[in-house]
Structure 1
């Protein structure tokens, strides 16, 4: 997919483009706001990665232009914690998602994949998603780790993919239930916990393998990727 990147840090922007190329995308490094608008006018963009610390008016205008283009281009914001006010304003203007700097490039690739899948569902039907050693085939609901298929149920597949798609983010129990068990309002709490335990065990989501799947007190669960 065609992804435009605009960030004040040239080194970061180049690194993002490298990550995008490795994921099979076609990145374009925009020097300024007019370059972004030009791409939007010519329909040469599928997603915009934007520095939220740019001038607030610039960020708001670009988000508005992207979201109100004929294809409602998704926008991923990159924000230093100091730019919290600008981030809030951009999200209110319609930005699709955000990442806090410093950017973890594995998480960046994941967030972009989620946004593209949501924005262009017809182009991502039956896709294969890769997260380091793990590969998810959405057509067959199959998980492969280092060449070996992991036997999982459909619900275990859905739960595992949900966790990887939100790597590094805490997910509430309510959100997990609504996503993996839609319409089952009376789902016993132990059912969710049992499935989390099975996913952790079957996929080997433990610190020695570079991951931690842990409960978040009084909230839900979070899958983290650890430095190895």
Structure 2
């Protein structure tokens, strides 16, 4: 998983990054609320780990901003020295999914993160997934629209599955290259743009079928559910950075 860590103590941040890296996760650390928010709102992360007491904002303020601005419910773990019942309730009420008091035991931190990731991705192990008129069979690797199986390449299938499992979420070109193609982020991102253009046509992503791929200017793409409307509605919407 790609994890964003909000932690202003450098040694603590390095330790948590090391623990998560050893368990196969990629973790970026940020020492301030503003730096953390800028990264989370412009990049693609699977989970957030946040401290409460940071220099420029409170962890609660950062969490509230994340919940207000992101279009998908990214899982959040609070990791902080504040451990009173009042603090725990306040963080959970603000949108946190789990809460750990420092110093957290390494194995417990990793186990909590993995468990939260499983709970927030309930479709990950299902064989048949239904998204409106689209049915995805993960075992047969087929996608049907209104019962008709579409002709897709293996890469088209992988990309479509990833889009639907992350609908409403900003997916950067770099993340798509990494997750779908298994390529380093410095590879030319025109590969992603070409496949996205083709998927729009092959999948029939339009208002009549209830979904569109929205292009986020200079950032990436987001699959959005939408209400059916006229056939002339523009599918791609450019959004200023």
Q: What TM-score, normalized to structure 2?
A: 0.47
Compute the TM-score of the two structures, normalised by the length of structure 1.
Answer: 0.49
